[in-house]
Chains A and B, each alone.
Chain A
Amino acid sequence: MKSPTAHKTHRRPDGRSSGGTLRPLACEMSCLQRADGSALWKAGSTSVLAAVYGPVAPRQSSKENSSKALITVLCKQTQTAGEHSSAQKGSSASINNEEWFEPSSSSSSFLVDMISACVKTEAYPRTVIQIVLSIIQADGSVLACALHAAVAALLDAGIMMNCLPVAT
């Protein structure tokens, strides 16, 4: 997994060539009853569950923006998320887990920036749109999967967007 340019016949643990083939995608929407919008996005064995709450009034009215909606993203990883990661299978002794995804504030703020740019925030002034992401299984490309799950959940909630962001 360390150097994809090593051999021409180099294959990834799941059999894909290093040429950049997509893993099978799956999406299930409206899976959560209480959320305004929800989606479960799977790319291969990576799966992320997104829930959207909003537009709602912020808990403290001082935090509201009078001209547009504020997007907040909460990203959490379940305890067993990395158990079936292909990064661990058949790999050499080095535990260089570049594939391992730890949700950090930088990934949350990246998602906030991406989604704020695409959602029509001026249509929902003085509100907050909260997106809660739960990484069910992490097996590479987790941030991209999280973004897609968030977008699918926003579509499910009927929140207006100017465009759809995509990630790989």
Chain B
Amino acid sequence: GGVLTMAASTTMVQPKVVLPGDDVTNIVLETKHKMKPKLGTGLSRGSSGDKKIFATMAGRLEHRRSNNTWFVLHNAKRYIPAIEDRVLGVVEDRAGSDGGADIYRVNIGGPHPAMLSSLAFEGATKRNKPQFDSGTLIYARLISDGIIMDPALSCQNGPLDVGVPQKDWMTNEGAYGELRGGTVRKISLGLARELLHPNCVVLTELENRKLAFEVCVGVNGWVWVHSERPEYTILITNAIVNSEVMTVEQVRAMVKALVDTVQKQLQDDGDDE
């Protein structure tokens, strides 16, 4: 996909494709770095206490130099919840109440639905809490990953939201909460990660074309797009989905072609009226 990576953050060694069971101990331990190596997704220690590190997923072995993290880069469609992930969810039902709070069951695309308490919102009290219908779209963060019980969501700022202003839930201007209007599209987890990258080409290009829009990307592979016209919303959604298999140059050309076509069509329709 289209991500402009900076040279310092990419691995300098030859790309290495690994399969489950591959021994990568030598690669990880022999790379010189002042910090101890950390193992990310797709890597695991040997079970018998020996110092072997092996891959558990098929993909490209990647190295983040800033904190010496090793992980296997892969793409999947099914989301597995992890704590502090920021996800989009659809409210299914009110599952019950817990004292003064309502508990909503929210579909986040993972193995189990997540629980969201109506008091887990900024400035929410028993007398002043949000109420949701089925089908409401929510942007929230995970506060428990569902290993023992079902995963739980919260719409309050968390430890990773340092510097984000805390707005009351009623204003709908906070970091998390209900998303109104727009459209949602399911994308792969890898594309969602690319969209969240600060140098994401497709979103930058769309912005450069002077389109007014907002996007919300959940790491669970759901993306919400909202713009002033439905034609632009469809354009942006298509551009995002197309960009997954394109190089940076192709993405730029594709966005230009899409925007020019749609804007010309709108102009022609406007002239006809």
Question: Which DSSP category, helix, strand, loop or mixed, fits chain B's interface?
Answer: loop
Q: Determine if B20 and A155 form an interchain contact, defined as CB atoms under 8 angstroms apart.
A: yes
The closest CB in chain A to the CB of B78 belongs to A36
The closest CB in chain B to the CB of A118 belongs to B20
Q: Is A157 an interface residue (CB 8 A)?
A: yes
Q: Determine if B42 and A54 form an interchain contact, defined as CB atoms under 8 angstroms apart.
A: no
Q: Determine if B111 and A158 form an interchain contact, defined as CB atoms under 8 angstroms apart.
A: no
B20 to chain A, nearest CB (A): 4
* Interface 9-residue window, one of B69-77, B94-102, B132-140: B69-77
Please encode chain A, from 38 to 51, with 1 for each CB lying within 8 Å of some chain B CB and 0 for all others. Answer: 00000000000000
Report how far A164 CA is from B56 CA in the complex, Å.
10
Q: Is B112 an interface residue (CB 8 A)?
A: yes
B58 to chain A, nearest CB (A): 4
Q: Which of B78, B80, B112 lies at the interface centre, i.e. has the most chain A CB atoms within 10 A of its CB?
A: B78
Residues of A within 8 A of B147 (CB): 125
A113 to chain B, nearest CB (A): 18
* A57 and B74 contact, Cβ closer than 8 Å, known pairs A162-B20, A164-B20: no
Residues of B within 8 A of A163 (CB): 20-21
A115 to chain B, nearest CB (A): 12
Which of B19, B56, B77 contacts A120 (CB under 8 A)? B56
Report how far A37 CA is from B44 CA in the complex, Å.
22
Report how far A155 CA is from B59 CA in the complex, Å.
9
Report how far A87 CA is from B111 CA in the complex, Å.
43
Q: Determine if B19 and A164 form an interchain contact, defined as CB atoms under 8 angstroms apart.
A: yes
Q: Determine if A160 and B19 form an interchain contact, defined as CB atoms under 8 angstroms apart.
A: no
A126 to chain B, nearest CB (A): 7
Q: Determine if A127 and B78 form an interchain contact, defined as CB atoms under 8 angstroms apart.
A: no
Which of A118, A157, A161, A164 contacts B78 (CB under 8 A)? A157
Q: Is B57 an interface residue (CB 8 A)?
A: yes
Residues of B within 8 A of A164 (CB): 19-21
Interface residues on B, range: 20 to 34
Q: Which of B19, B42, B77, B189 lies at the interface centre, i.e. has the most chain A CB atoms within 10 A of its CB?
A: B77
Residues of A within 8 A of B56 (CB): 120, 160-162
Q: Is A56 an interface residue (CB 8 A)?
A: yes
Q: Determine if B20 and A158 form an interchain contact, defined as CB atoms under 8 angstroms apart.
A: no
Q: Determine if A155 and B78 form an interchain contact, defined as CB atoms under 8 angstroms apart.
A: no
Q: Determine if B76 and A158 form an interchain contact, defined as CB atoms under 8 angstroms apart.
A: yes
Q: Is A55 an interface residue (CB 8 A)?
A: yes
B46 to chain A, nearest CB (A): 10
Which of A36, A56, A125, A127 contacts B76 (CB under 8 A)? A36
Which of A36, A54, A55, A158 contacts B57 (CB under 8 A)? A158
Report how far A57 CA is from B80 CA in the complex, Å.
12
Q: Give A81-118 interface residues, CB cut-off 8 Å to B.
A: 118
A122 to chain B, nearest CB (A): 10
Q: Give B108-147 interface residues, CB cut-off 8 Å to A.
A: 111-112, 147
* A155 and B58 contact, Cβ closer than 8 Å, known pairs A124-B80, A160-B42: yes
List 15 extra interface pairs beyond A127-B112, A157-B77, CB under 8 A. A36-B76, A36-B78, A55-B111, A56-B111, A118-B20, A126-B111, A155-B58, A157-B76, A158-B57, A158-B78, A158-B189, A160-B20, A160-B44, A160-B56, A163-B21
Give 22 CB contacts A-B under 8 Å.
A37-B76, A37-B77, A54-B111, A55-B80, A56-B78, A57-B112, A66-B148, A120-B44, A120-B56, A124-B80, A125-B147, A127-B111, A155-B58, A157-B76, A157-B78, A158-B57, A158-B74, A158-B76, A160-B20, A161-B57, A162-B44, A164-B20
Q: Across chains A and B, which 6 residue pairs bring their CB atoms closest together, nearest first?
A: A158-B76, A161-B20, A163-B21, A160-B56, A155-B58, A36-B78
